[in-house]
Amino acid sequence: MQTSSRESIEFYVRRGFWGEESLESLFRRTVAIHPGRLALVDPPDREAFTDLPPRQLTYSDLFSAVRDVSARLLAAGLRKDQVVVTQLPNTVETVVLYLAVARIGALLCPMSVDQSTASLAEASLQLEPVMYVGCHYRHRNLLKQARTWLPESCQFASFSPSGGDVLNLSLDHPATEDEIRHLGQIMDTVPVSPNEVFTLTWKRHTDKHPAIPRTHNQWFALASFVYEGAGLRNGDSLLCSFSLAEVSGIGAFLYNWLMAGARMVLNQTGEPEVIKSQLAKNRVTCAGIPPEQLISVLELVEGMQEPCSLRTVISGFSPMDADVAQKIAGTGKVTVLNCYSTSEGASLLATPADRCEQWEEHLFPRFDEQIDGWSSRMSRMVRTRLFAPGAEEEITEPGKPGELFVKGPSLFDRYYPCEPEGEYEEPNYKDGFQRTGDLFVIDEQNPRFYRFVGRVEEQMDS
């Protein structure tokens, strides 16, 4: 399914912001270059929250797993542009499933394992999924719970043998030769382009348009900002403690992991001792850590006697403790990258190249045509504006709160379900800039930067 207009595609391709590679073609290229390299490592405490032991896969192992899961999904009837809802923790199988869905061209709608039943039921009514992939998580049988909110026509699947009518996607259960042959035929006749939708992000309380579709090229644009900002290198070891059901996990890690031919070490629970052990044992060079878990990184970095392999910590995507971030950066061993992003694809972060003398972790760059001196890829691709909430007035002076509007190649084009071309309702634009619903101020000390204030509706309700 394609949501971007021909004009939009041509515009971003001409400027080099979008390319010809999908997640599937990137995956194949990375496997061909690094078949024996370790690709994925499960959380060591996996058995504390699932019914399967931890495992790890090389890129060659991963290719076989994705091939088999793709073939079984096709044999079960999954087709391009059909919706697959998933409820899975950060495990090897989750990444395998995402790559398999991308190969087929189905629409992935990931949901948190902690998502409320009411929200899931609402999503089911709006999105009409044809398949649900779930698991046992801690003491809950998510597959059993899903039967209460999904339509009877929806097919159920799991990586744990569950019996009955549940499709078995176990990595220990290879596809048949006939299933693999059929997969090859489908891939030859139904290709997936980088301008087709990969994910649907569910947004509650939005009434008419609850789902945000994102294409591969839009995800690549966001990932490229993080790749540059984090200074990723070929063969890096990455720790992903962000949920793979969220923008942070997909945008900061799924694509960048393959672009770097990296090892991705997964974390689900955020337990401090587990994080410290993973950072040290896997000689992690770049870690994605939610703000509430940053203290674990600080304790590890401060307590290490030998040289630290960790170069960069990616955090943010929600308000962070600036004091903890400053202390980590103050050790002189680790760069802290604070990211701002929305489900719609708006994103801001300050790369080392774009920092100023008084730069602080809680500030975000202000990409305005009137401001010179930016050096990052993001600064060439993204433009921002502040407007007074509910008014047409653009804010250009420091200290006055305004809603952030963004323009760039990582932003979504239209909502899901998609109406025919020419009949659909566009996102909320202002002079080509898309609103975010977030309030920022131009920083008084560093007017080239923004400072996050809060949500627009929260300020208006107070």
Question: Which DSSP string corresponds to 365-432?
Answer: E---TT-----SHHHHH-EEEEE-TTSSPBP-STT--EEEEEESTTS--S-BSPPPTTTSPPP-EETT
Instruction: List, in sequence order, the alpha helices (H) in 168-318.
Output: 177-189, 216-230, 247-249, 255-259, 272-281, 294-303
User: Which one-letter DSSP state was computed for residue 352?
Assistant: G
CA gap 133, 142 in Å, rounded: 9
- Residue 388 φ then ψ, to 5°: -60, 130
Sign of CA dihedral 62, 63, 68, 73: positive
Read off the pLDDT of residues 109-133 as tens digits, 9 standing for 90 and up.
999 999 888 888 888 888 889 999 9
What is the model's pLDDT at position 331? 80
- The residues near 186 (Cβ < 8 Å, ≥ 6 apart) are 74, 104
What is the model's pLDDT at position 314? 94
Nearest 10 degrees: Cα torsion 428, 431, 433, 435? -40
Q: Residue 110: is the preceding peptide bond cis (ω within 30°)?
A: no
Beta strands at 107-111 and 83-87: parallel, antiparallel or unpaired: parallel
What is the model's pLDDT at position 53? 94
Residue entry with tokens 């609850």: 210
Q: Which residues of the chain have pLDDT under 70?
A: 204-209, 305-307, 355-361, 370, 418-430, 458-462
What is the model's pLDDT at position 253? 96
SS3 264: strand
Strand partners, 110: 86
What is the model's pLDDT at position 208? 57
Residue entry with tokens 């009411």: 118
269: its two tokens? 């629970």
Beta strands at 155-158 and 167-168: parallel, antiparallel or unpaired: parallel
- The residue among 167, 164, 162 whose CA lies nearest residue 52 is 162
What is the model's pLDDT at position 122? 83
Residue entry with tokens 């073939």: 71
- Residue 385 φ then ψ, to 5°: -145, 155
Domain boundary assignment for the chain: 231-341
What is the model's pLDDT at position 226? 94
What is the model's pLDDT at position 429? 64
What is the model's pLDDT at position 224? 94
CA gap 111, 245 in Å, rounded: 6
Tell me which CATH code domain 231-341 carries: 3.40.50.980
Cα–Cα distance list, 438 to 126, 201, 299, 373, 401 (Å)? 26, 18, 32, 25, 10
SS3 108: strand
What is the model's pLDDT at position 30? 98
Other Cβ atoms within 10 Å of 369 Cβ, number: 6
CA gap 162, 425 in Å, rounded: 42
CB 171 within 8 A of CB 93: yes
- The residues near 198 (Cβ < 8 Å, ≥ 6 apart) are 23, 101, 102, 107, 108, 214, 215, 216, 219
